Each structure stands twice: as C-alpha cells, then as structure tokens.
Amino acid sequence: MIVVDRLGNVKTNGENQNNLLKKIYGTFLGRCALKILVCKFVSNLGGWYMNSSLSKHRIDSFIKENQIDMSQYEQKEYTSYNDFFTRKIKLGKRPFLIDDNVLISPADSKLTCYKINKDSHFTIKNTLYSINDLLMDEKLASDYINGYCLIFRLTVDDYHRYSFIDDGKIIKSKYIPGKFHTVNPIANDFYPIYKQNSRNYTIIESKNFGTMIQMEVGAMMVGRIVNHEKKYCLKGEEKGYFEFGGSTVIILLKENQAVIDDDILENTNKDKETVVRLGETIGKKY
C-alpha cells in the first residue's frame, strides 16, 4: 500500500523493512519461520531483550536510519531500546483543536478509513473483515453497521504513545489474546491480521461522537500494550503506549457520528495510507 502525506506526496521510508517482510510472508520457507516468529514466547523473548541494557547500542543507528527529529522529545539517558522506543514527546509538540466539532487522530500513524457495510464487514486489499471477528461480540458489532472503521497503523519510526480523541466515560475494556503478526499491509496479503492478532479494546461513551470503540492491536515483537486505568477520559489525554514493534490503533464510529475528511477517504479508495500525527484534524462531528 502506498503511503502519502496530506499534500499527496509519496513517502518512501521503510523500504528495507518491506523487502524483508515480502521474503518472510511471500515465500514457503519464510512462512515456515513465521510460525515461530508470531508466537507469544518469541515476542516475549524479544521484549526481554529490548528492555535490557544489551539493546542500547541499537538506538543511535535507528535514529540516524529513520531520520528521527529528537529535538521534539524529552531529553534523557535511555536505559534500553524500549526505554527509547516509548519516549515521551515535549509538551506542545502535538497540539489539537479543543473545538467539540473536530475529530482528531489518536496517534502518529498511517491512516485508512473503511465504511462498515450492512453485514458489518469491511474490505482491506481484497481481504474481507468482520467487525464481529474484530470484537468477538456479535451484538456489539451490529451497532456499528454503516459506521466507520478507522485504522491507524504505527510504524517503528512513529511516536508510540496514543491518546483519547474525545471526552467521555469508559464503559468497558476487553483483551483478546492472539498472535503477533506484523501490521504491515504486506502481511494482509497472506493472513487476516486484524482478526488473528492480540488486541485490547475500550468502549467509550463519548461527548461528541456517540458510543465509540478505541482498540489497540499488538504486532510482531510487541510484548505489551500498556493502557492506563481510567474511568473517564479527556480529549488529547494519553490512553497508553506500545512497546517495541509496529502496532495499530483502530477507532470504530457508529453511523451518522462523524464526517471523515475527503482526502483520507479518497486515498483509502486508491489503496493509499495517509500520514497523520497525534492530534491532527481528520474529520468533524456529523
């Protein structure tokens, strides 16, 4: 899938990773190795290494290779790669509009948006997904027919902390154990990743966008999805963070709750992901 910014410029960062994933997911030997890579034990082992001081040497080369502007982040001495990976951004570097009519992005990410059809399904690159498969709750899934499924894919160079997109009350949270496939679109050609991967979702009675769902999806080498325990949430307030690896945040909105920006919908229809940042406006109240 092509990645573009809001001006339509194509972004090419991550080609080396894409080539590696094509070899893993696109070949017989690669898929044999994949059975080991996606299991929880291997993900936990990778998480242990990334949390240890042994991983510190990876930080400088990663910053250089991905051209990360470290002036945006709080300055500190990192004790491990995961300590660096979960770094906090400086106050004011991800501003957002307080306006109740504005829908904002929950994370720095690559965004696609899909209409949920009358059978509570949506399609990503010819792969059919069911909202019931995603939520493991048929009754709840039926509430989102004709609504939107917004998929915010975080890559390793993104800021891996995510926020609430509106004020509201936390109704329920649910964890669904699963595998740890990469969330790169390449994997979607071979596996229905969003109904196989480990995930956690929160039902929120929001102030401006109805009863919405915010879900975090774990991915290859992500040992933990870390959510803060809350009963109420505020727009722009940190909801949690991912430890090492690419990851995804999914927002489910009911019918007639939001109008998504045209460029995002047009890009999705053309199999393009749109680069957005935490707090950036992506739509408005219906």
DSSP characters for the chain? -EEE-TT--EE-TTHHHHHHHHHHHHSHHHHHHHHHHTSHHHHHHHHHHHHSGGGTTHHHHHHHHTT--GGGB-----SSHHHHHTPPBPTTSS-----TTEEE-SSSEEEEEEE--TTSEEEETTEEEEHHHHHT-HHHHHTTTTSEEEEEEEPTTS--EEE-SS-EEEEEEEEE--B----SHHHHTTS-HHHHB-EEEEEEEESSS-EEEEEEE--TT---EEE---SEE-TT-EEEEE-SS-EEEEEEE-TTSEEE-HHHHHHHHTTEEEEE-TT-EEEEE-
Whose tokens are 């975080």? That residue is: 154
- Per the prediction, the chain carries an average pLDDT of 83
The confidence score (pLDDT) of residue 182 equals: 45
> What's the confidence (pLDDT) of residue 177?
78
Q: Is the pLDDT of residue 223 over 70?
A: no
Pairing assessment for the beta strands 2-4 and 10-11 based on DSSP bridges: antiparallel
Higher pLDDT, 112 or 199: 112
Q: Report the distance separating Cα 214 and Cα 202, nearest Å.
A: 5
Q: Is the pLDDT of residue 230 over 80?
A: yes
> Is residue 22 very low, low, confident or very high in pLDDT (cuts 50, 70, 90)?
very low
Neighbours of 72 (CB within 10 A): 13
- pLDDT mean over 169-187: 69
Q: How confident is the model at residue 41 (pLDDT cuts 50, 70, 90)?
A: low
pLDDT of residue 97: 95
Region 162-179 average pLDDT:
91
Give the pLDDT mean for 166-182.
81
What own/partner pairs with CB < 8 Å and gap ≥ 24 does 132-136 have?
133/192, 133/194, 133/195, 134/194, 134/195, 134/199, 134/215, 134/250, 135/174, 135/201, 135/213, 136/174, 136/176
| Paired strand residues for 259 | 284
108 assigned to active site: yes
Six-digit token string for 53? 């001081």
pLDDT of residue 39: 57
Query: Is residue 103 pLDDT above 50, yes or no?
Result: yes
Give me the phi and psi of 178, to 5 degrees please: -175, -160
Residue ranges making up the domain that contains 1: 1-286
Respond yes or no: is residue 261 known to be catalytic: no
Q: pLDDT-derived band of residue 29, with 50, 70 and 90 as boundaries?
A: low
* Relative orientation angle of helices 28-37 and 15-26, to the nearest 10 degrees: 100
Residue 21's pLDDT band (boundaries 50, 70, 90)? very low
- For the chain, the domain total comes to 1
pTM above 0.75, yes or no: yes
Q: Which of 120, 143, 247, 261 is catalytic?
A: 247
Residue 184 has pLDDT above 60, yes or no: no
Read off the pLDDT band of 118 (50, 70, 90). Answer: confident
Q: What is the arithmetic mean of pLDDT over 226-241?
A: 96
Least-confidence region, from 105-114, 199-208, 241-250, 276-285: 241-250
- pLDDT at position 130: 84
Catalytic: which of 43, 105, 108, 206?
Answer: 108
Greater pLDDT, 44 or 274: 274
Residue 155's pLDDT is 83
Predicted confidence (pLDDT) at residue 195 exceeds the cutoff of 60: no
Better-scored residue on pLDDT, 30 or 5 = 5
Model confidence at 209, pLDDT cuts 50, 70, 90, reads very high
Residue 204 predicted with pLDDT over 80: yes
- Which residues are bridge partners to 273 per DSSP? 3
The pLDDT value recorded for residue 126 is: 56
